[in-house]
């Protein structure tokens, strides 16, 4: 009788131990099975989940614009610092067309073009595209950079009308997408185009070609750009700053870790940049890793030595000691375009002191990517940047009152998207749900088996001790 009881207790303990061990074994086995499944579906090959997510955006991408309207135009014309009021958002739907000219390449790559399109969305905007704002005169501000010689500037003065100033009144549509400038129209130089705009030309154009790794030969290279416009470098910067690094930001190689630095290329800012892990996020029931573009990415070379090759204008940057603005004139046909984070977030105080009305705020103005770590897909993002022009003293009449060079903000934008409900359901069913179910099963077996083992073994030893008495 005692033997039956003791044997039963030992049997229960053995079963509990086996269950706990089985739960432990499930961890590497389950990880292996998940890894195998992800590797099969994460490569960019026709028929995989990754390919469909890659070819056509899984959710609507919107670009919201905030224009910096000048509140004190007469003072600015006479040389005072500008005071701004941001007006917006003016929202456009972008990036909803499938990639074009998709072709398989060599060495496990695939190439494509990104079509550029922007459709105005009235319901998500504060007004119409015909709203008027007072902004910098784009053509006038560019003259000193395009024609730096005093002699040429004196000649150009003959084509500038007496009522032309450093500022102008334009509609939102004109500022963003282009207008015919009366000053440029009068210049008889060959090659001078009369149409200007912050993003002119955009609609109907394409970005690329991009050539990226599919991951079929090496899963760790999935979506990483092999070349951009058939080159590995950009010809804008010196040294490694000129390299095209990482992906296009829409996805990354699978199995993302928190300690990784995720690199991605953005043609909007003419450079590669990077994100670092910030925190976990839960979006539509899916756990994501948030990676943000850190302050160090725009720091001065005196603080972050690796940024030395992004410093191209030592006069404006005060011998590369200023932070927060990036001179991209080399990739904008020598126009004095400077990129920053919105409201000069993380910029040096002296840059912000040259203007009034800007209020940098990390929550509203930082760039982030929310990535599903197993697949590497970006399921939510907000790419935020500000477009500025350099204004400097010149012999041309509208700029004669400018006392010193400063960076003049034009607008900032937020390009954002979040995974749609249909795609979110697919992720929960195929990936998140299965991972969660496996994790629960593993823990249930380990905890349940351990409890059974300890309970039966405890009972066994108690019975043994009573018998010995």
Residue with structure tokens 């067309």? 97
Handedness of CA 172, 176, 180, 181 (dihedral sign): positive
Tokens standing for residue 14: 């053995």
Phi, psi dihedrals of residue 437, rounded to the nearest 5°: -65, -40
pTM: 0.86
Determine the pLDDT at residue 449: 46
Determine the pLDDT at residue 23: 43
The 3-class secondary structure across the chain, one letter per residue, is CHHHHHHHHHHHHHHHHHHHHHHHHHHHHHHHHHHHHHHHHHCCCCCCHHHHHHHCCCCCEEEEEEEEEECCHHHHHCCCCCEEEEEEEEEEEECCCCCEEEEECCCCEEEEEEECCEEECHHHCCCCCCCEEEEECHHHHHHHHHCCCHHHHHHHHHHCCCCCCCEEEEEHHHHHHCEECHHHHHCCCCCCCCEECCCCCCCCCEEEEEEEECCCCCHHHCCCEEEECCECECCCCCHHHHECCCECCCECCCCCCCCCEEEEEECCCCEEEEEEEEEEEEECCEEEEEEECCHHHHCCCCCCHHHHHHCCCCCCCCCCCCCCEEECHHHCCCCCEEEECHHHCCCCHHHHHCCECCCCCHHHHCCEEEECCCCCEEEEEEEEEEEEEEECCCCCHHHCCCCCCEEEEEEEEEEEEECCHHHHHHHHHHHHHHHHHHHHHHHHHHHHHHHHHHHHHHHHHHHHHHHHC
Please give the chain's pLDDT, 469 residues, in tens. 455 555 554 554 455 444 445 444 444 544 555 566 667 777 898 888 788 888 887 788 999 999 999 999 999 999 999 999 999 999 999 988 899 999 998 889 999 999 999 999 999 999 999 999 999 999 999 988 888 887 888 888 888 888 899 999 999 999 999 999 988 888 877 777 889 999 999 999 999 999 999 999 999 999 999 999 999 999 999 999 999 999 999 999 988 999 999 999 999 999 999 999 999 999 998 889 999 999 999 999 999 999 999 998 877 788 888 999 999 999 998 899 999 999 999 999 999 999 999 999 999 999 999 999 988 989 999 999 999 999 999 889 999 999 999 999 999 999 999 988 888 887 767 665 455 554 544 555 455 445 454 554 555 455 656 555 5
Tokens standing for residue 427: 């992720």
Determine the pLDDT at residue 262: 97
Q: Could you give the count of Cα atoms lying within 13 Å of 282 in the half-sphere of its Cβ?
A: 3
């Amino acid at each position: 009788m005692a033997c039956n009881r003791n044997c039963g207790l030992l049997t229960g303990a053995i079963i509990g131990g086996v269950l706990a061990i089985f739960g432990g074994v499930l961890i590497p086995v389950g990880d292996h099975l998940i890894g195998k499944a992800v590797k099969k579906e994460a490569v960019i090959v026709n028929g995989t989940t990754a390919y469909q997510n890659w070819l056509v955006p899984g959710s609507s991408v919107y670009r919201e614009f905030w224009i910096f309207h000048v509140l004190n135009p007469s003072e600015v014309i006479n040389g005072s610092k500008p005071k701004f009021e941001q007006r917006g958002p003016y929202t456009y739907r972008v990036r909803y067309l499938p990639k074009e000219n998709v072709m398989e390449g060599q060495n496990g790559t695939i190439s494509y073009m990104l079509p550029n399109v922007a459709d105005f969305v009235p319901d998500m905007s504060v007004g119409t595209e015909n709203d008027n704002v007072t902004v910098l005169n784009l053509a006038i501000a560019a003259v000193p950079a395009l024609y730096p010689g005093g002699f040429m500037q004196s000649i150009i003065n003959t084509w500038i009308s007496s009522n032309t100033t450093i500022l102008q009144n334009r509609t939102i549509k004109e500022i963003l997408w282009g207008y015919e400038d009366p000053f440029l129209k009068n210049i008889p130089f060959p090659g001078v185009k009369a149409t200007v705009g912050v993003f002119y030309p955009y609609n109907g154009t394409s970005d690329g070609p991009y050539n990226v790794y599919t991951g079929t030969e090496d899963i760790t290279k999935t979506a990483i750009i092999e070349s951009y416009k058939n080159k590995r470098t950009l010809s804008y910067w010196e040294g490694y700053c000129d390299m095209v690094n990482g992906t296009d930001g829409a996805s990354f190689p699978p199995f993302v870790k928190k300690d990784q630095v995720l690199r991605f290329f953005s043609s909007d800012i003419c450079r590669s940049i990077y994100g670092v892990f910030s925190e976990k996020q839960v979006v539509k029931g899916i756990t994501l890793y948030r990676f943000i573009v850190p302050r160090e990415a725009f720091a001065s070379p005196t603080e972050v030595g690796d940024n030395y090759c992004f410093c191209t204008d030592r006069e404006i940057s005060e011998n590369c000691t200023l932070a927060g603005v990036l001179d991209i004139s080399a990739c904008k046909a020598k126009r004095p375009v400077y990129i920053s984070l919105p409201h000069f977030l993380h910029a040096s105080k002296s840059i912000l002191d040259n203007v009034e009305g800007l209020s940098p705020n990390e929550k509203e103005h930082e760039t982030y990517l929310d990535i599903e770590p197993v697949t590497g897909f970006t399921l939510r993002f907000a790419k935020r940047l500000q477009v500025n022009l350099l204004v400097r003293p010149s012999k041309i009449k509208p700029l004669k009152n400018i006392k010193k060079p400063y960076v003049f903000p034009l607008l900032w934008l937020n390009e954002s998207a979040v995974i749609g409900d249909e795609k979110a359901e697919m992720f929960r069913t195929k990936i998140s749900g299965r991972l969660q179910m496996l994790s629960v099963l593993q823990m249930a077996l380990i905890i349940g088996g351990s409890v059974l083992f300890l309970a039966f073994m405890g009972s066994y030893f108690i019975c043994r001790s009573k018998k010995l008495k």
